[in-house]
Structure 1
Amino acid sequence: MKTAFIARTALLSLLLSGYALADDDCREPVSDWQPRETLRQHVEQQYGWNVQRIKVDDGCYKIKGADRKGNAIEARYAPASLRLRTLHVNFGDDGDARDYLARPTSE
């Protein structure tokens, strides 16, 4: 009885951990994807990023490049909606995270 409980618990934890990892993938139909160049233009104009590479990773667009202050960035976007999914910034010695925090709106 105890062995069966341990086996079920182990199986359940494996299933749940696999589900959690799979949730990071983008699942939009390829027919709805926007061109990579559209994403490149958006982030260069909107954020001033210098895009070095855009590739497909787990169904998402993955950007590698640098922000306007030279900090290395890696971002993942949903390819159809171009919605930001994850952003990693490796700040240099004079890096400042305030550039990436939401600014309060004035009333």
Structure 2
Amino acid sequence: MKTPLLVTTTLAATLATGMSFADDDCPDAVADWQPREVLRQQLEAKGWQVRRIKIDDGCYEVKGLDQDGNRVEAEYAPTSLRLRKLEIEYDDEEYEDSDDDDDDDDDDDREATKRRPETRTAPNNGIVRGKPSVRIE
């Protein structure tokens, strides 16, 4: 009888502890929030195309396109509509074809250096002496 009570008590304590750590990024009172439509109008006035506004961790999360046509994901405080975080994904060809990118362009001339069939013989430097002999007994 003590074991189920102990398990239940431990489980309840664990869940209560987990809930206390799951706090919101924007702890504003819901009664003070501004409507999503106000945020949508502000962003559209800046030239954004708003695709979606949802609530995530107590903040407004906006997905859409900015005035230059780049994909954006932004996070706003719901009471002040202050920008908290902004992520921009550039789709412009100027950024994709730039020579200033960080990747190594070592494979540019790969077609010119195709592997040729091995026709060379083993080097005669003392490491390999002729053909290895195999004897089956």
Call closer, same or farther: CA 1:67–1:95 in 2, change over 3 Å. farther
Cross-structure match for 2:44: 44
Deviation per CA, 1:24-83, whole angstroms, max 9, x where unpaired?
Answer: 7011000000000000001110x2100000000000000000012210000000000000
Q: Counterpart of 1:43 in 2: which secondary structure?
A: helix
The CA RMSD measured in Å over matched residues stands at 2.0
Q: Which amino acid aligns with 1:54?
A: I
Amino acid at match of 1:29: A
- The structure 1 segments of at least 4 consecutive aligned residues displaced by more than 3 Å after TM superposition are none
Structure with greater Cα Rg: 2
Q: Which runs of 5+ in 1 are unaligned?
A: 1-18, 97-107
Change (3 A) 1:30 1:95: farther
Q: Is there any run of 5+ residues in structure 2 with no aligned partner, and where?
A: 1-20, 96-137
CA distance in 2, matches of 1:52, 1:85: 19
The percentage of aligned residue pairs carrying the same residue is 56
Structure scoring higher RCO (CA < 8 A, sep ≥ 6) equals: 1
Query: Residues 4-34 of structure 1: CA distance to partner in whole angstroms, max 9, x if unpaired?
Result: xxxxxxxxxxxxxxx8x95x70110000000
Amino acid across the alignment from 2:91: G
In 2: Cα distance, 1:30 partner to 1:95 partner: 43
Compare the two structures and name the one with the higher helix fraction: 1
Give the structure with the larger strand fraction: 1
The number of aligned residues is 75
